[in-house]
Structure 1
Amino acid sequence: MLLAIDAGNTNVVFALVDTAAGERQIRGRWRIATDPRRTADEYAVWLSQLLALAGFDRGVVEAVVIATVVPRALHNLQVLASKYFGTEALIAGREPLDWGIALDIDEPASLGADRAVNTIAAHALHPGDLIVIDFGTATTFDVSDYTGAYKGGIIAPGINLSLDALVTAAAKLPRIAIEAPAIASVIGRNTVDQMHIGIYWGYIAMIEGLVQRLKAEVGRPVRVIATGGLATLFEQHTAVFDHIEPDLTIQGLAMMWQRAHIA
């Protein structure tokens, strides 16, 4: 099986992917807080226990593929692959795992691995022009055309980051949960309700507004694909998403590995 690792700014996601017969069945997924100081030994103890709880021996892992936007975390993940799984990890964006798509932007080298991998997976799963919205530490909007070429996008603060900034900067504001407001009105009658309205409905308004502008600029029918943990939270109150793909990055990593492996 393939161990796909997506190292983001907030969490590192590990997924066990069954690639037999060309399939990409995710058999387990686990996440841990991103800490560049975490050693390969620490990862191994934690992951081995979770694999065992899910009924898997460590020996089922035959290959490892990694995408990371945290360069300092990469070395220890590579050591994890070599020391505990006996394989050299393949790194997204490095040979033999080139992107396999055109990067039609000013600075291709600056594109985050997760965004490129999301584009690859989205294009394989959904034909046509696409907008991929990834709800992570930052919320990113990525545009690709019907050929699969990456055309650019938008980076906005993630909703948790926005809330943290608000609470940190305003001493009297309490910390609240990220959830839909309990009231239907957008006129809050107390501080907590007003914060929920501002954070939740304000974020939905940003999403809908930016998607509208992106669609107008593309000028052709566009599908909107959402991924990331908070996508389902917003799905309840907006019709802007055409599809939700919670494992888009993992699927993209598995596709890249399969392409290199078959080649």
Structure 2
Amino acid sequence: MLLAADVGNTNVVFALFDGREIKARWRIATDPRRTGDEYAVWLLQLLQIEGVDRKEITNIIVGSVVPRAIHNLTVLSEKYFGVTPMIAGQADADWGISVDVDEPRSLGADRALNAIAAHAKYDGDLIVIDFGTATTFDAVDFNGAYKGGIIAPGINLSLDALVGNTAKLPRIAIKSPESDSVIGTNTEDQMLIGVFWGYVAMMEGLIERMRAEIGRPAKVIATGGLAILFDKHTDMFDAVDSDLTLEGLAILAERAAQ
């Protein structure tokens, strides 16, 4: 079995793969100081709950946008599983795609993995939107080449900035608005409208501009925790694919093993 670790700015997601099928997944808050031993205490118990012996894990791959976390995950892999992990983007786990941007090495692992998985699963030109700590919009052409994209503040970052820099605005939760009205009659509704519908308008506007610049029909693939929420309020997505980054890790590991 393959153990994949997707290290984001907010969470680390571990997934257990049998081939391309995800058998289990677990999430823990990202903390670069967390040691390999601390990961092991948590992860080995979860494997036991799933009835999986650690010896069944024969390959491990790590994709990380937090470089400091890689060392401790390497310790976890080697000490507790006897496996030297593949690091996405390095050595045998090189991206294997054309990265047509000014500084290819600056491309985040999550964005490269999304591009790999999206091209493997969907035809034609693609726009991949990942709703994470930041929201990224990435253009992947019909040959699978990464052509560039956009980085925008995530919706929760936008809300944190709004609340943190004002004296009287309350903390609210991001949720589906109860109506389509964009004229709020109380402070909380007005904040939700501004953040939520403002974000939808930003997203739809950027997608239209990207499609115009690409100049060919482009499917829009959404991933990340809030993709399902936004999918209920826009018709811009052709597919919502929550496991895109993890599937990119599995594809990369499969290629590296060949």
Normalising by the residue count of structure 2, what TM-score does the alignment of the two structures yield? 0.99
Q: What CA distance in whole angstroms lies between the structure 1 residues aligned with 2:71 and 2:223? A: 27
Residue 59 of structure 1 and its aligned partner are, at CA, apart by: 2.2
Q: Which amino acid aligns with 2:5?
A: I
Residue 56 of structure 1 and its aligned partner are, at CA, apart by: 1.8
* 1:164-175 map, 5 Å: 164-175=160-171
Q: What CA distance in whole angstroms lies between the structure 2 residues aligned with 1:139 and 1:59? A: 37
Structure 2 residue corresponding to 1:136, chosen from 132, 137, 145: 132
Aligned residue for 2:13?
A: 13
Aligned residue for 2:122?
A: 126
Moved >4 Å (runs of 4+): none
Residue 54 of structure 1 and its aligned partner are, at CA, apart by: 2.0
- The answer on 1:104 being equivalent to 2:100 is yes
Q: What CA distance in whole angstroms lies between the structure 2 residues aligned with 1:60 and 1:139? A: 36
Q: What CA distance in whole angstroms lies between the structure 2 residues aligned with 1:54 and 1:204? A: 39
Instruction: Decide which moves more: 164-173 or 55-64.
Output: 55-64
Q: Which amino acid aligns with 1:6?
A: D
Segments of 5+ residues of structure 2 without an aligned counterpart are none
Residue 123 of structure 1 and its aligned partner are, at CA, apart by: 0.2
Segments of 5+ residues of structure 1 without an aligned counterpart are none
Aligned residue for 2:245?
A: 249
- The answer on 1:84 being equivalent to 2:91 is no
Structure 1 residue corresponding to 2:190, chosen from 186, 189, 194: 194
Residue 50 of structure 1 and its aligned partner are, at CA, apart by: 1.3
Q: Which amino acid aligns with 1:5?
A: A
* 1:43-82 map, 5 Å: 43-82=39-78
Q: Which amino acid aligns with 1:98?
A: D
Normalising by the residue count of structure 1, what TM-score does the alignment of the two structures yield? 0.97
Residue 60 of structure 1 and its aligned partner are, at CA, apart by: 1.9
Q: Which amino acid aligns with 1:162?
A: S
Q: What CA distance in whole angstroms lies between the structure 2 residues aligned with 1:223 and 1:232? A: 17
How many residues are matched?
258
Residue 242 of structure 1 and its aligned partner are, at CA, apart by: 0.2
